[in-house]
Amino acid sequence: MNILYAASEALPFAASGGLADVVGSLPAALVKAGHDVRVVLPLYKDIKQELRDSLRFIRNFQVSVGWRQQYCGVFEGKAGSVTYYLIDNEYYFGRDGLYGFYDDCERFAFFARAILDMVAAEEDWTPQIIHCNDWQTGLTPVYLQIFYKHLPKFERMKTVFTIHNIQYQGKYGREVINDVLGIPLYYGSILEYDGCVNMMSAAFETSDKITTVSPTYAREILDPWFSHGLDRCLNSKQYKLTGFLNGIDTDLYNPETDTAIAKNFSASDLSGKAECKKALLSELKLRGDGSPLIGIVTRFVSHKGIDLIRNVFEEMVEMGYSFAILGSGDKMYEDFFREMAYRFPEKVSVTIGFIPSLSRRVYSACDMFLMPSQSEPCGLAQMISLRYGTIPIVRETGGLRDSVTDAGDFEHGGNGFTFKTYNAHDMLDAVRRAKALYDDKENWKKLQLFAMSCDCSWAKSAELYLGLYRELVG
Ligand code: GLC
């Protein structure tokens, strides 16, 4: 099958979160299964020069953005086995950073339409499916339905839309419909939801299938507590909604070969993991007294469950834990962690920022990884942790629930510690149980080895996606 992945970020080109990991690894798994899968994304200024230098210009044309005609260049490149198309427009993408500009609506309307114009111009390759991801590509199925479906090349083309996080929907005022999106007002019903333009609900309306990144999240988002207002729309689309658990790139995240960590290790010899811990403790200037080390790598925003951590942080330190914390986000949380690092300098370290190499050292060195999210569509950090023998402590929500089982059920496949209710003391109980098992060295090692043996690769889910694509193309 020919499949085009459309996304606003993908590793190794541009990344701000988990979406980039997924778009940077799932297509490769599908190529490995024998399919021609390519990826299209914006040519951001942030993309490193050496990657830019490896690209080849293929063509340019004009794209309609409302009444405007905008230049669009298409570059082609390779990352591993996957072909990438990069959409060039200096005005829209020649800025520092990926999102957060006053004209994001216009930037991604341009991108969504440029994808279809690129497909129209390409003579040698036509996708049977365009697989869109999150609101930034939500308008592609809308434009396809309104402006391209009557053309022979697009007649049988199908679309899949994946929700990576339902919180970010691309909501704008009605005035953009004609002026910015260039869509006649009589199509308003496709675009409008709850009184404004909503790019995510518009994608739900027009795409052939909707998927999300774990089976549990696919159920959760039908409920108002999780849906950020979209449950009404999604409930009527259940017939085309499914959830497949994300995988991770197990070649990239491999403790046996990872060059970012202090010492490589494997399930047959864990001594390198102890070296990693020693090195990280000394890097972060923490006391190496044999106490268990918890890693936290996250965005400091409320839905990541930072409030739970904040509520019982001192109790966890008193329990004997040390912390290696990496992330950035709301100032209130950054300040809280800074204060804790100041008060417990030998036990708590916080690094404010997004530093992929340090995150690898944290995943490899820590004993446990804490992820008490309020909601978590999938979550990748817990899977990376499992792969590095770092035991996840998670709340049972979304993909966390689908990838981590409580080790109270160790005999039956428990690979971490979990709690159900969004409550700081329930989390504390899981943290206490983790400490009790950590003190039982023999069983702790068994748990680590079991965690490392869990399959977090794309193998299973790639098959599920292929099944879905086959259903569509017949
Ligand atoms: C978003 C979600 C995260 C998920 C990732 C990749 O960042 O918040 O849970 O793992 O997308 O699908």
- Using pLDDT thresholds of 50, 70 and 90, give the confidence band for residue 134: very high
Question: Measured from the CB, is residue 375 less than 6 Å from ligand 1?
Answer: no
Domains 2-247+459-473 and 271-453 alike in fold: yes
Q: Locate the domains of the chain by residue range.
A: 2-247+459-473, 271-453
Q: How far is CA 269 from the centre of its chain?
A: 31
Instruction: Looking at the structure, give the CATH architecture of the domain made up of residues 2-247+459-473.
Output: 3-Layer(aba) Sandwich (3.40)
In this prediction, residue 412 carries a pLDDT of 67
Question: Measured from the CB, is residue 127 less than 6 Å from ligand 1?
Answer: no
Question: Measured from the CB, is residue 26 less than 6 Å from ligand 1?
Answer: no
d(CA 329, CA 369): 19
Q: What is the mean pLDDT of the chain?
A: 96
Cα of 372 vs centre of ligand 1, distance in Å, is 15
Cα of 19 vs centre of ligand 1, distance in Å, is 6
**Which of 221, 246, 401 most suits a substitution to test ligand 1, by most atoms within 8 Å of the C-beta?**
246
Closest residue by CA, ligand 1 atom 1: 164
Dihedral angle over CA of 121, 125, 130, 135, nearest 10: -50
Looking at this protein, which amino acid is placed at residue 317?
A: V
Question: Measured from the CB, is residue 20 less than 6 Å from ligand 1?
Answer: no
pTM for this structure? 0.95
- From residue 247, give the alpha-carbon distance in Å to each of 41, 48, 159, 292, 402: 21, 26, 22, 28, 12
Long-range contacts of 235-242 (CB under 8 A, 24+ apart): 237/204, 237/210, 240/207, 240/208, 240/209, 240/210, 241/209, 241/210, 241/211, 241/212, 242/209, 242/210, 242/211, 242/212, 242/215, 242/218, 242/468
- Using pLDDT thresholds of 50, 70 and 90, give the confidence band for residue 118: very high
Q: Residue 227 phi/psi, 5° resolution?
A: -85, -5
In this structure, which topology does domain 271-453 adopt according to CATH?
A: Rossmann fold (3.40.50)
Closest residue by CA, ligand 1 atom 5: 18
In this prediction, residue 413 carries a pLDDT of 72
Is residue 410 predicted with pLDDT exceeding 80?
A: no
- Using pLDDT thresholds of 50, 70 and 90, give the confidence band for residue 288: confident
- For residue 376, the ligand 1 atom closest to its alpha carbon is 9
Question: Measured from the CB, is residue 19 less than 6 Å from ligand 1?
Answer: yes
- For residue 246, the ligand 1 atom closest to its alpha carbon is 12
| pLDDT average, residue stretch 345-358 | 95
d(CA 374, CA 397): 7
Q: What is the pLDDT of residues 430-439, one digit of tens each?
A: 999 999 999 9
Q: What is the pLDDT of residues 34-79, one digit of tens each?
A: 999 999 999 999 999 999 999 999 999 999 999 999 999 999 999 9
Q: How far is CA 201 from the centre of its chain?
A: 20
